[in-house]
Chain A
C-alpha cells in the first residue's frame, strides 16, 4: 500500500474544462456537486482506501522568525500563484489506482451537470524505509 495526496487548488492548476464559477451554477447543480464529493469520500471509506480529507480556507498568512522578537507575518497575498483549496489522502495499492481515483474525483459534476474535468495534483508520500533492503 502507498499513500497519495490528491491536491485541489483554488489557483495555480491549469484551467478546468468546465470552469464556470460555482455561484453561477443552478442551486441543483451546486447540490449535486456537494453530494458527489460527500459520496466519493464515503465510497473510499467503504473500499478501505480513505485516510483523510480536509478543506482549507483561502485566507492564510506567511510567517517567519525574526530572531528574538515575535515572528514576522505577511500576507495573505492576492497575487500568490498557487493556492491549495483542500486535499484527500488515500492509501492505495498502486499509482495506477491513485490516478484512477483522482480521475473520478476530477469528473465531479459542475455547471450544466457536466463534469468539471478539473486538474488535481497527485503526490506520492515519502514512506518509511522498508525493513528488507537487500
Chain B
C-alpha cells in the first residue's frame, strides 16, 4: 500500500471514530497517531485489513488521548465546554468531514490546513513545508481551527461552496516542496465529487484536471513562465484533458451552470486547440460574459479583455480593458500585451517594465522584465 492509498483511508477512519461518538478534534489527532504507527508496523507485518487496523489503533489512541485530556482538564479545572459528541447530521460521513474542516467560521488558511490534515491525511510537517511556515506555527493553526470547530462547528450545517473555495485555494498553491498540492487538491475534489451531488463540484474537478493537464508545458527550467501561446502543446496530458471534458460535459448537461463549470469551459476551449491559432476566442469571450454573471470581478474582466483582444483585435481589447479597475494586479501586463499587439512598442515596453516592478511573484517579475528587454532591443534596432 503506498502513501496515497494509505491517506485515502483517513477520512473513512475518521468518520468511523466520529460516528462512534468521538469528538472531531481528538479523533483527528488519534487518526494521525495511527498513521504514524502504521508506517513501521506495516513494514514488519502488513495487515490483511488496513482500514480495520487503522480503526482499531486510532480508536485506542482516541481513548488514551481522551483520558489524558480529561485528567488534564481536571487538574487545570478547565471550564471549556466539551464539544457535543456523537451527532452526525449529514447522511454522508465523509461529506460531513469536508464541511467541518472547511467550516465557514474558519479563516481560509486554517480551513486549508485542516482539510489537508483531516481529509488528506498529510502530516503537520508536510503541510508546514508546503506552505513554507515553521511546523510549530502550522500545528498551532490546526489546533486553533479545531477549537473553533469544537465551539461552533456542529450546530451549523456545512456549505459545499466553502469546501470548494478551500479546495480551489489548495489547487492554486500548486507545487512547492515535497507535497504536490495541486495533485492533492484533485484527489480531494474527486473524493468530494463522489459524495456531493452538485454539478459545480464536478465543474471544479474538470477545471483542475484541465489546468493540471497543461502543467508540464507551463513553466520552463527554474520555474520560468511559458505563456499559453508559446507552450509546447505536445506536452499536454491528453488523457487528463479527455477526462476533464467528459466530466464537464456531464456537469453542464444538468443545466445548473456556475462559476467553476464556466471556468472549466474556458480551460476546455484552450485545451481543445491543437495550435494556438486554432483557439476559438469568440466562444471564449462568450464564456467570459457568462462568467461575469456569476462572478463580476475585476480579475474576470481583465482576463476577458485579453480574450476580446484576441477575438476582435487589440483596439477592442483595449476598449474592454478601459472598463477594468487599473489598480488590480497584472493590469499593466495585460495593457502592455494589448498595446504591443496594437503596434505601440514604446508604450508597451514601458508598461512591461512597470508590470515587472509590480508583479505579484518572482516568475512573473522575471517574465515581464524579459518582455520589456525584448521590446527595447527591438526599438534600438529600428
List chain A positions with a Cβ less than 8 A from chain B.
21-27, 29-31, 34-35, 38, 55, 57-59
What is the chain A residue whose CB lies nearest that of B378?
A27
A31 to B224, CA, bound (A): 10
Choose among A23, A31, A55, A59 the residue that contacts B372 (Cβ–Cβ < 8 A). Answer: A23
Docked-complex contact A23 and B222, CB < 8 angstroms: no
Instruction: Tell me the chain B residues, 334-375 only, with Cβ under 8 Å from chain A.
Output: 349, 352-353, 356-358, 360, 362, 365-366, 369-370, 372-374
Instruction: Report A-chain residues with C-beta under 8 Å of the C-beta of B360.
Output: 57
A131 to B227, CA, bound (A): 54
Docked-complex contact A23 and B352, CB < 8 angstroms: yes
5 additional A-B residue pairs with CB within 8 Å, beyond A25-B373, A26-B377 = A22-B373, A23-B373, A27-B377, A29-B373, A58-B357
Instruction: Report B-chain residues with C-beta under 8 Å of the C-beta of A24.
Output: 373, 376
Q: With A22-B369, A23-B353, A27-B370 in contact, do A34 and B376 touch (Cβ < 8 Å)?
A: no
Which 9 pairs show the lowest CB-CB distances between chains A and B?
Answer: A23-B372, A23-B353, A27-B373, A30-B373, A27-B374, A38-B222, A34-B366, A26-B377, A30-B370
Docked-complex contact B377 and A23, CB < 8 angstroms: no
What is the chain A residue whose CB lies nearest that of B366?
A34
A59 to B373, CA, bound (A): 22
A31 to B369, CA, bound (A): 10
Choose among A23, A34, A35, A59 the residue that contacts B349 (Cβ–Cβ < 8 A). Answer: A23
A71 to B377, CA, bound (A): 46
Q: Whole-angstrom distance from the CB of A24 to the nearest CB of chain B?
A: 6
Docked-complex contact A31 and B370, CB < 8 angstroms: yes
A31 to B374, CA, bound (A): 11
Instruction: Report B-chain residues with C-beta under 8 Å of the C-beta of A31.
Output: 370
A57 to B365, CA, bound (A): 10
Q: Whole-angstrom distance from the CB of A58 to the nearest CB of chain B?
A: 6
Instruction: Report A-chain residues with C-beta under 8 Å of the C-beta of B352.
Output: 23
Q: Could you list some 22 contacts between A and B, CB below 8 A?
A: A21-B353, A22-B372, A22-B373, A23-B352, A23-B356, A23-B372, A23-B373, A24-B373, A24-B376, A26-B373, A26-B377, A27-B374, A27-B377, A29-B373, A30-B369, A31-B370, A34-B222, A35-B222, A38-B222, A57-B360, A58-B357, A58-B358
A35 to B370, CA, bound (A): 13
Docked-complex contact A57 and B358, CB < 8 angstroms: yes
Q: Whole-angstrom distance from the CB of B334 to the nearest CB of chain A?
A: 18
Instruction: Report A-chain residues with C-beta under 8 Å of the C-beta of B376.
Output: 23-24
Instruction: Report A-chain residues with C-beta under 8 Å of the C-beta of B358.
Output: 57-59
Interface centre among A23, A25, A30, A35 (most CB of B within 10 A): A23
Q: Whole-angstrom distance from the CB of B346 to the nearest CB of chain A?
A: 12
A82 to B372, CA, bound (A): 25
A29 to B376, CA, bound (A): 13
Docked-complex contact B362 and A55, CB < 8 angstroms: yes
Instruction: Report B-chain residues with C-beta under 8 Å of the C-beta of A59.
Output: 358
A13 to B356, CA, bound (A): 21
A25 to B357, CA, bound (A): 15
What is the chain B residue whose CB lies nearest that of A38?
B222
Q: Whole-angstrom distance from the CB of A111 to the nearest CB of chain B?
A: 10
Q: Whole-angstrom distance from the CB of B314 to the nearest CB of chain A?
A: 22
Instruction: Report B-chain residues with C-beta under 8 Å of the C-beta of A30.
Output: 366, 369-370, 373
Docked-complex contact A23 and B369, CB < 8 angstroms: yes
Instruction: Report A-chain residues with C-beta under 8 Å of the C-beta of B224.
Output: 34
A103 to B360, CA, bound (A): 29
What is the chain B residue whose CB lies nearest that of A21?
B353
A30 to B373, CA, bound (A): 8
Q: Whole-angstrom distance from the CB of B7 to the nearest CB of chain A?
A: 29
A23 to B369, CA, bound (A): 6
What is the chain B residue whose CB lies nearest that of A35?
B222
A97 to B362, CA, bound (A): 28
Q: Whole-angstrom distance from the CB of B95 to the nearest CB of chain A?
A: 39
A25 to B377, CA, bound (A): 8
